[in-house]
Amino acid sequence: MVEKILANLEKSNCATDNTFLQAVSEVLTSLEPIIKTDARYEQFAILERLVTPDRIIQFKVQWLDDNNQVNINNGYRIQFNNSLGPYKGGLRFHPSVTTSVLKFLAFEQIFKNSLTGLPIGGAKGGSDFDPKGKSDFEIMRFCRAFMRELYPYIGARVDVPAGDIGVGAREIGYLFGEYKRITHNYDGVLSGKPYTFGGSLMRPQATGYGAVYFAREMLKEELQETLEGKVCSVSGAGNVAIHTIEKLQQLGALVVTCSDSDGAIYDPRGIDLLLVRELKEDGKRISLAEYARRTPGSVYTPKSEYPKDEHAVWQISCFAAFPCATQNELTVSDA
């Protein structure tokens, strides 16, 4: 049954949807023993309905840069499944954003959200817009233009987007401001807002802290081990990575790596989290090469020095590895 569904998916999805097809294959293969125990999965086409998104919304985003030059980007929202409640999932602004990546993320969001026990469905969205190197005003103008196209499809009881890569509290604030201006409503239509106008306490920390809490409980249950005194590697330098490093350090672990899209830092004495925050938070996206310039003894490895399917972060010996950057960032070669 699973093989048949995967074969049909490959026929109905374009050849570039490899990331999505990989995710579906991994999930369905792992669920196959359960699927075989109940004929209703096949009788009512449960799996076919589960792996097909409710709708894929794509739109053009037109915005002006600081030189008054018109720029065009693609915007997307994949509303995958709302069986349990309103669609819920982040917005990602990054050049790597495609329908395949977003379908993969939205599909997995269904399960992530259902496991919380809350009545929410799964979705994902974003744009191939790159915030790196853009001014605050350029990012504001892009966010406003993006929301002008997105707002008809979202709402507190319809679809509630959040942040993701390239979309932090600043971007959510710009998006929410434009939503209010257009609709004249102060609705809970976006999560991840700044504290000053409706944001939740601990919301920024939740994802990174959660990864560490899960690892801590798994180690305690399975190996009777703790993270205290252990060498840990973390990839990424965004919101998830920063709070993963923060919680690991609070638990006494020695975190020796982090990375960004340009390269990776190895600091054998432990990552200086204050310096990483200075370089990466509050809308700043300064390369981690600056970390090495300011911190004697640390080593910066540009991404270009490694083959395409390998990452410098995972070449460092460690007790536990925490991938906190993007999807598929631990390859067979890394392993």
Q: Which residues are catalytic?
A: 124
Tell me the CA distances in angstroms from 22 to 99, 102, 224, one per residue in order: 14, 13, 33
Rounded distance between C-alpha atoms, residue 305 and residue 133, angstroms: 23
Residue with tokens 């432990």: 270
- Of the candidates 154, 184, 168, 111, the one whose C-alpha atom is nearest the C-alpha of residue 283 is 168
Using a 10 angstrom Cβ sphere, with 0-12 exposed, 13-18 middle and 19 or more buried, the burial of residue 221 is exposed
For residues 245 and 214, give the distance between their C-alpha atoms in angstroms, rounded to a whole number: 14
Interstrand relation of 254-259 and 263-266 (parallel, antiparallel or unpaired): antiparallel
Closest among 129, 125, 154 to 74, alpha carbons compared: 129
Q: Which long-range contacts (CB under 8 A, 24 or more apart) does 201-204 make?
A: 204/168, 204/169, 204/239, 204/243
Closest of 176, 163, 153, 167 to residue 77, by C-alpha: 153
- Over the range 23-58, which residues count as b (16 or more CB within 10 Å of their CB) and which as e? bbbebbeeeeeebeeeeebeeeeebeebbebbeebe
- Rg (Cα) of the chain, in Å, rounded? 21
Task: Could you list the beta-strand ranges (E) of 48-188.
Answer: 55-64, 70-81, 87-93, 122-127, 159-163
